[in-house]
Amino acid sequence: MNITVAGEKKDVKEGLTVTELIASENVETPQYVTVSVNEEFVESGEFDTTVLKEGDVVEFLYFMGGGR
């Protein structure tokens, strides 16, 4: 099935969970990433049970602490 991850179209397996996507995308510091699916945040406790569907739009939001 096709989903969009961080603006890029991807062909992924049916039934992919957010946790599996985080692993396959090599997300840095995965325990602190914020995830949105179709412009709704997914609670980190629900990454395991959130199954992605055809056409889903997934964004990863990262902590960026620098500035000075």
Partner 1 sequence: MAFTNEQLERYSRHIILKEIGAKGQKKLLNGKVLIIGAGGLGAPAALYLAAAGVGTIGIVDADVVDLSNLQRQVIHTTNDIGKRKVESARETMNAINPDVKVNTYHEFVASDNIMDLIKDYDFILDGTDNFPAKFLINDACVMAKKPLSHAGIIRFKGQLTTIIPGEGPCYRCIFKNPPPKDAVPTCKQAGVIGAMGGVIGSLQAMEAVKYLTGVGDLLVGYLLTYDALKMEFHKIKLPARGEGCAVCSDHPTITELIDYEQPACELKAH
Q: Which residues bind partner 1 (CB under 8 A)?
A: 6-7, 29, 31-32, 34, 36, 39-41, 59, 61-68
What is the rounded distance in angstroms from the CA atom of residue 68 to the CA atom of residue 13? 42
Shortest CB 37 distance to partner 1, Å? 10
Query: 């989903």: which residue's tokens?
Result: 3
Quote the tokens at residue 44. 């980190």
Give the nearest distance from C-beta 3 to partner 1 in angstroms.
15
Q: Which is nearer to partner 1, 26 or 29 (CB)?
A: 29
Task: Map tokens 């603006």 to a residue.
Answer: 7
Q: Least distance to partner 1 from the beta carbon of 38, Å? A: 9
Q: Which residues pair with 2 in a beta bridge?
A: 11
